[in-house]
Amino acid sequence: MMFKKNYTNKPYHLCKYNPRSNDDFTTIAHRGASAYYPENTLPSFEGAIAMGADVVELDVQLTSDKEVVVFHDEKISRCTNGRGKIADHTLAELKKLDAGNWFDKKFQNTRIPTLSEVLGVCKNKIAVNIEIKTEAVSKMFLGGIEEESLKIVERSGMNGHVVFSSFDPRAIMHLKQIDYRVTVAVLFEKKYYGSKLPSDIVEYVGADAFNCSSSEFNKKWLANVKLNNIPVNIYTVNDTKNMKRFINMGVSGIFTNKPDILKRVAADVKKKQEREGWQ
């Protein structure tokens, strides 16, 4: 069923702290400054803040004792010295794991952070994109990860500076059912949406913005989002050539592991556009 008839449009730059009136492009640090620090850890988010990123993107899942932690994979083996799934461990068990040494030994003893801990680091400094992982979503919209995450955001005092996103359309609709004011972006996945256009998908789930991979975004989608004034953010772009290409296409934001590079490229492109008289 269609969730709402009249969807809203809210680009990520409106969630920035201290936004400048002429700056409508958003540099989104993918799992923090993850080219330089272990992904989804406090050092990675602190690094993104130091590099001047506008938003940090992170992933959330539930532990076995229903705590919201920041971690990407369903299984913990790639980014920690542990084994098994996030959902099979308590928070106390996960806190004993090393989540930094896999990246570089200088990050040894870095821990898996809770969502609350990350928001504490980001408050008054940088906006946050919270991606709800599909494996954490259930049929129930009350008492699940969506409601728990919303409560944590509320307690953090970061309302207005947080965007939620998910590949799972249930998560987006659950969030809007719990609080229609929350800003939510759809993450495109073909198995859920097939050949639907971005405008149809955004309307179907009641989202505020449309996010997709750099390989999926095409001229047809570009025309559709521009015609319907839909904010679009592209992931994950780490090379300067494609950064320039997407910025010149007029996308709203880019997810990158290298926010320092993207900030510099975006500034250079803007200066060039101003010299050439772009409106």
Catalytic positions: 30, 72
Judging by beta carbons within 10 Å of its beta carbon (0-12, 13-18, 19+), is residue 101 exposed, middle or buried?
A: middle
CA dihedral 217, 187, 238, 123 (to 10 degrees): 140
Q: Of 275, 267, 207, nearest to 22 (Cα)?
A: 267
For the record, the structure tokens of 199 come out as: 């405008």
Distance CA 3, CA 76 (A): 34
Three-state secondary-structure class, residue 59: strand
Q: What sign results for the dihedral spanned by CA atoms 147, 149, 155, 161? A: negative
> Are residues 14 and 255 in contact, defined by beta-carbon separation less than 8 angstroms?
no
- DSSP single-letter state for residue 196: -
Distance CA 20, CA 128 (A): 18
- Reported as type and span, the H/E element at residue 28 is strand 26-30
Distance CA 146, CA 142 (A): 8
> Are residues 22 and 261 in contact, defined by beta-carbon separation less than 8 angstroms?
no
Q: Of 60, 69, 17, 58, nearest to 34 (Cα)?
A: 58
- Compute φ and ψ for 255, nearest 5 degrees: -85, 135
